[in-house]
């Protein structure tokens, strides 16, 4: 057939499109080593009990307008910690009905896993988005 390409002719390469992470359009933000370290701290501080939201809040307030990477990652971590705090309170209340005894450890384990993933992604300079998060601060 005349429309079939000859086996000698090279096929065009597919266009280079980066895959979306976690089903979202995640921005690419340039960062240096210090910014990546501070972004990692913003995420890993969420593992600390009783106030894991203070470090992202402080970093966001200090670096607002100065470092887009730190600002973005601190806001993302703060949003997640607000959600975790609300679900933890709900789980503590449901301990009266024995449901919370299963829910509370699950929330704390998931918090640790997601905070660790966020910290490692920030360490590599990647923008991390937490799953199952309502973003109150945009």
pLDDT digits (tens, 9 = 90+) for 101-123: 999 999 999 999 999 999 999 99
If you ran DSSP here, which 8-state letter would residue 49 be given? S
Q: Which domain holds residue 72?
A: 33-123
Does residue 99 lie within any of the structural domains? yes
Does residue 95 lie within any of the structural domains? yes
Four-CA torsion 82, 51, 41, 25, nearest 10 degrees: 0
Q: Above 90 in pLDDT, residue 26?
A: no
How many structural domains does the chain have? 1
pTM attached to this predicted model: 0.78
Does residue 75 lie within any of the structural domains? yes
Nearest-angstrom CA–CA distance, 108 and 94 = 15
Nearest-angstrom CA–CA distance, 132 and 80 = 9
């Amino acid at each position: 057939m005349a429309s079939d390409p000859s086996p000698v002719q090279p096929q065009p390469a597919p266009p280079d499109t980066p895959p979306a992470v976690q089903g979202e359009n995640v921005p690419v933000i340039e960062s240096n080593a210090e910014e990546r370290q501070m972004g990692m701290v913003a995420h890993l501080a969420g593992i600390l009990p009783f106030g894991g939201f203070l470090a992202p809040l402080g970093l966001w307030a200090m670096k607002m307008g100065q470092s887009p990477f730190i600002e973005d990652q601190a806001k993302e971590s703060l949003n997640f910690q607000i959600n975790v705090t609300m679900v933890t309170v709900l789980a503590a209340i449901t301990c009266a009905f024995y449901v919370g005894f299963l829910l509370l450890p699950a929330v704390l384990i998931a918090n640790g896993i997601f905070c660790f993933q966020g910290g490692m992604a920030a360490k590599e300079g990647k923008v991390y988005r937490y799953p199952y998060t309502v973003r109150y601060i945009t």
